[in-house]
Amino acid sequence: VLYVGRKFLIANARVENCAIIFCNDGFCHMCGYSRAEIMQKPCTCNFLYGPDTKRLAIAQMAQALLGSEERKVEINLYRKD
């Protein structure tokens, strides 16, 4: 299986805020949220931002989501707990 051990989510780029439409158990465990809490939130994962999440990284990620090119962005995200 290709995604064993991976943590990921899938979003719908055709709806407002690119809503999350799926996240695997690994992603839920990593961030401390249940699948129900994550579903339909923006794929920018703003619910995981914290004091050390840099505005530049947030802007780069948002810009990458609007474009059609792959981009690597390092961003600090936080668990629910």
Tokens 């690994």 sit on residue: 26
Tokens 């579903």 sit on residue: 39
**Tens-digit pLDDT profile for residues 48-62:** 999 999 999 999 998
Q: What's the average model confidence in pLDDT over 56-78?
A: 91
Domains of the chain: 9-66 (3.30.450.20)
Strand partners, 19: 42
Q: What's the average model confidence in pLDDT over 18-46?
A: 96
pTM, 2 dp: 0.85
CB atoms within 10 A of CB 60: 16
Q: What pLDDT score was predicted for residue 48?
A: 98
What is the C-alpha to C-alpha distance for residues 19 and 42, in angstroms, rounded to an integer? 5
**Tens-digit pLDDT profile for residues 9-26:** 999 988 888 999 999 999
